[in-house]
Amino acid sequence: MIQANANLGSSRKELWIPLLLIACLTLAVYYVSFSNGFVWDDDSIIVKNSQTLELSHLPDVLFSPDVVKPYYRPLNRASYLFDYWAYGMNPLGFHAVNIAIHLVNALLLFLVGCRLLPDRRGALFAALLFAVHPVNAEAVNFISARNTLLSLAFSLAAFLWFLEARGRWGRPLFFSALLFFGGLLSKETGLMLLAVLPFYAQSSEPGASAVDWRTRVGWIFPYLLFLALYLGMRTYSLQGVVGVAVPAEGLFARLAQNYYILPRYLGLLLAPYGFTIFHTVPKEHLFSIPWLFVAWVALLGAVFLILRGRNAAARFGLLWFAANYVPISNVVPIPSDYMTERFLYLPAVGFFILAGAGFCWLQAHLETRRWAAIGALAMVICCAGLTAERNLDWRNDLSLFGSAVRNNSESVGARFNFGTALMEKGDLAGAQQEWQKALEIDPRHTDTLAQLGTLAATQGDLARAESYYRAALDSPSANNTPGASMAHFNLAKIYEKKGLPREALRHYRLFLENVNLSYEEYRPFAERRVAALGASVPAEAR
């Protein structure tokens, strides 16, 4: 049985040493990240997003959906407003906030570990490993992933206050529910705390088994009230919003992908190498990959031993991982990549609690305890070095997408984005080479075809440019992509040059119907051309 206050009874002054150690190591590992710039989707989500520029937009943020995708994450978006108010559009300030939140999460995990584990050194190991593990580098360095950092911070703080409440109504339980509400307003995944608390209370609180069901419901009633408030705010803010396209695969196909994704995630945690922002998930012959069968046998065996054993902290770690894995398992289709490292930030806390529990077990069973400490220290140092190296990949788009190509050369996303980064640096030959390689992987990739069209247009070959743009629009993935917007806009300009005003008018209108945020700056020009062409083209020819 886990005692809620088992490891905090000694002098609180003793906490400062491990807390300072966690803080110093985290800041040392992520020091280089302070000089990183805006990368990847930061441009559309933050830099070019008008909602991040003025505090006067705060009411809009609280009661409106995200601009890029129809999410409702107002606290995350509000944090960008305060970043801009404090630092302007200086990436250093934005990165500092992300690193600070990650540091807070590491400190909170240490405090949680002190409550769950019998040895404070196990809690310290879990927190240090979380702080410096390279699997978390994407969530920390990618400013636009702050929603994940915030959601975990609120969830861990809510869990600590829940432990403080010890099943009694009062201020601690209210604070816990309020923090749970903050997690929901940061990212939807904060909801999974509701799956953890009842199980913990039932299995771990002293005397919980003798408590009647009304009292048990009372433990979570404040959370349900805040959940209802959140759902009301979310419904109001998203009313009339059309969802983005999601993968067309059925439920079984989506769940089958976890046969690959889950072992791959665990592989990143256990053997930290091969990190990339573009992971490729095989779509065929999944069940014929030999190493996956071996991995699942080992995984199920480990789960069996944890559930059968008496280590309550290990069972809690397994529960936390499983509950927080559900939202990223594609049970509900995710309008994003199937697998990405930042998704693992919340579930991985369960893994680190398991690591802390394993350390405590070794300390209790090894004749020479120092071997457990030496092994733990070696792991922390190794992970710290790998993370410091990984942080360098996030300096700019060129280094980030270059690393993606090195670590996953068969990713069309990596090839396409690396080519775009090369083009922005003036290396047109290198860009064309990367885009051609992207088409070898996926001949109908909309954004790649559109970029090749733009490259042909800049070289004066309008016929080839038109061919690429038409191919981009004929692609099955063309709907509401940056490439589709680019293709419509540039086809309209080509048709104007060719003296085909009716076709130009049609493509300008199609561009305006679904302007991707990346091309919002071209809207005024397109509107002027629609007005001019609309006046010159006969009504029957429009």
Q: Does residue 402 belong to any structural domain of this protein?
A: no
Distance (Å, rounded) from C-alpha 99 to C-alpha 140?
6
Q: Residue 526 is part of a domain; what is its CATH number?
A: 1.25.40
Cα separation values, 64 from 72, 180, 238, 520, Å? 7, 21, 7, 19
Q: Is 142 exposed, middle or buried, given 0-12, 13-18 or 19+ CB atoms closer than 10 A?
A: buried
Pull the structure tokens for residue 105.
């999460």
For the stretch 476-526, pLDDT in tens is 876 767 888 889 999 999 999 988 989 989 999 998 887 876 777 888 998
DSSP per residue, 284-319: S-GGG-HHHHHHHHHHHHHHHHHHHSS-HHHHHHHH
Q: Does residue 195 belong to any structural domain of this protein?
A: yes
- 181 and 266 fall within a common domain: yes
For the stretch 147-200, pLDDT in tens is 999 999 999 999 999 998 876 778 889 999 999 999 999 999 999 999 998 888
- 385 and 465 fall within a common domain: no
* Burial per residue of 211-223, b for 16 or more beta-carbon CB atoms within 10 angstroms, e otherwise: eeeeeeeebbebb
Distance (Å, rounded) from C-alpha 309 to C-alpha 352?
18
Q: Does residue 7 belong to any structural domain of this protein?
A: no
User: Are 38 and 398 contacting, i.e. CB atoms less than 8 angstroms apart?
Assistant: no
Angle at 11 (CA atoms; ends 2, 315), nearest 5 degrees: 15
Alpha helix locations (H) across 346-427?
Answer: 348-365, 370-392, 397-407, 412-424
Q: 486: closest CA among 445, 519, 439, 462?
A: 519
User: Domain boundary residue among 343, 372, 392?
Assistant: 392
**pLDDT value, residue 247:** 45
- 359 and 469 fall within a common domain: no
**pLDDT value, residue 14:** 78
User: Domain boundary residue among 338, 372, 392?
Assistant: 392
**pLDDT value, residue 214:** 61
- 346 and 486 fall within a common domain: no
Q: Does residue 403 belong to any structural domain of this protein?
A: no
- 17 and 137 fall within a common domain: yes
Pull the structure tokens for residue 270.
């256990």
Q: Does residue 406 belong to any structural domain of this protein?
A: no
For the stretch 363-400, pLDDT in tens is 888 777 788 889 999 999 999 999 999 999 999 999 99
Pull the structure tokens for residue 303.
């789960």
**pLDDT value, residue 98:** 98
- 147 and 273 fall within a common domain: yes
Pull the structure tokens for residue 280.
């490729």
Residues of the chain with pLDDT under 50: 1-6, 9, 206-208, 210, 242-247, 540-541
- 66 and 155 fall within a common domain: yes
Distance (Å, rounded) from C-alpha 495 to C-alpha 509?
13
Q: Does residue 479 belong to any structural domain of this protein?
A: yes
Distance (Å, rounded) from C-alpha 251 to C-alpha 130?
32
* pTM of the predicted model as reported, rounded to 2 decimal places: 0.90
- 381 and 476 fall within a common domain: no
**pLDDT value, residue 3:** 46
Q: Print the domain residue range for 480.
A: 460-542
User: Are 423 and 432 contacting, i.e. CB atoms less than 8 angstroms apart?
Assistant: no
Q: 270: closest CA among 298, 293, 290?
A: 298
**pLDDT value, residue 539:** 56
Find all residues with CB under 8 Å of 479, minimum gap 6, and list them: 245, 514
Pull the structure tokens for residue 60.
């809009």
Q: Is 537 exposed, middle or buried, given 0-12, 13-18 or 19+ CB atoms closer than 10 A?
A: middle
DSSP per residue, 74-104: HHHHHHHHHHHHHH-S-HHHHHHHHHHHHHH
Q: From the centroid of its chain, how far is CA 519?
A: 24
- 475 and 384 fall within a common domain: no
Cα separation values, 77 from 52, 60, 83, 426, 515, Å? 7, 10, 10, 33, 21
Distance (Å, rounded) from C-alpha 476 to C-alpha 364?
58
Distance (Å, rounded) from C-alpha 510 to C-alpha 493?
13
Angle at 534 (CA atoms; ends 532, 540), nearest 5 degrees: 155
Specify the residue for token string 């529910």.
177
- 33 and 135 fall within a common domain: yes
- 135 and 39 fall within a common domain: yes
Sign of the dihedral through C-alpha 485, 491, 496, 501: negative
Pull the structure tokens for residue 141.
């360095």
Give the N- to C-terminal CA distance of the chain in Å, as an integer: 75
Count of domains in the chain? 2
Q: From the centroid of its chain, how far is CA 275?
A: 14
Q: Does residue 6 belong to any structural domain of this protein?
A: no
Q: Does residue 443 belong to any structural domain of this protein?
A: no
**pLDDT value, residue 285:** 80
User: Domain boundary residue among 359, 392, 425?
Assistant: 392
**pLDDT value, residue 210:** 46
Cα separation values, 119 from 113, 201, 356, 364, Å? 9, 21, 9, 10
Distance (Å, rounded) from C-alpha 507 to C-alpha 491?
7
DSSP tag of 333: P
User: Are 361 and 325 contacting, i.e. CB atoms less than 8 angstroms apart?
Assistant: no
Find all residues with CB under 8 Å of 322, minimum gap 6, and list them: 350
Strand, coil or helix: 350:
helix
DSSP tag of 46: I
- 25 and 137 fall within a common domain: yes
Distance (Å, rounded) from C-alpha 376 to C-alpha 123?
12
Q: 96: closest CA among 24, 27, 23, 42?
A: 27
